Amino acid sequence: MVDVSPELSDESLVKAALAGDDTSFARLVCKHKRRVFGLAARFARNGDELEDICQETFIKVYEKLSTFRNEAPFENWLSRIAVRVCHDALRSRRHEKHQLNVDLYEIDVRDVAGESRQEVRQAREFLRFAMSKLSADEQLVITLLELEELSVRETAEYTGWSEANVKVRAFRARHALKKIVEEHDGRKFR
């Protein structure tokens, strides 16, 4: 793995990478990969997809590095790209059948009822199932606002939508999620 010297600023690493120094680019990646992996893990369904999203993000960063201006922190610019790649990944799933099956979830509930840790795990599984029923835009906005706990302003900045648009989409997404929760409420989720 690449050693990251703490004294090297993003600005100097970007400059060196633009001059053709691959080691500097690798250092930049090493410095920020945790943030990208953390974000991508919220959207990826498995390890392969996680790797794909992260690679795609950093390849875009590499290709667009010359357009980076030091007006905002590098991490914000990187997060914007990562969010867009995640959004693309969500949209590409549109025609796929839902892989998470609520029936499987039901079996889990019967097997492990009563154990609090398992309940939390089941809650996560159920949320994943419910989220998979939402559109890509709705999944994105809910993930950023509710799971990553970003503000409306930050979400607007990362998605490129207006703040009003973010609020409207979030309202619709929550409404759709509530409907799904209500539908499965009495019989599955306790």
Q: How far apart are CA 27 and CA 187, in angstroms?
A: 51
Site stretch for other proteins (CB under 8 A), options 5-13, 101-109, 146-154, 161-169 = 146-154
Q: Residue 26 interacts with other proteins (CB under 8 A)?
A: yes
Q: What is the DSSP letter of 148?
A: S
Is the Cβ–Cβ distance between 172 and 161 less than 8 Å?
no
Q: Which of 18, 21, 38, 72 binds other proteins (CB under 8 A)?
A: 38
Q: How far apart are CA 103 and CA 188, in angstroms?
A: 9
Of 105, 83, 104, the C-alpha closest to 166 is 83
Q: Residue 25 interacts with other proteins (CB under 8 A)?
A: yes
Q: How far apart are CA 177 and CA 131, in angstroms?
A: 7
Site stretch for other proteins (CB under 8 A), options 19-27, 64-72, 151-159, 162-170 = 19-27
Q: Residue 104 interacts with other proteins (CB under 8 A)?
A: no
Rounded to 5°, angle at Cα 80 from 176 and 78: 140
Binding site for other proteins (CB under 8 A): 1-2, 22, 25-26, 29-30, 33-34, 37-38, 41-42, 47, 50-51, 54-55, 58-59, 62, 120, 123-124, 126-127, 130, 146-147, 149, 174, 177-178, 181-182, 185, 189
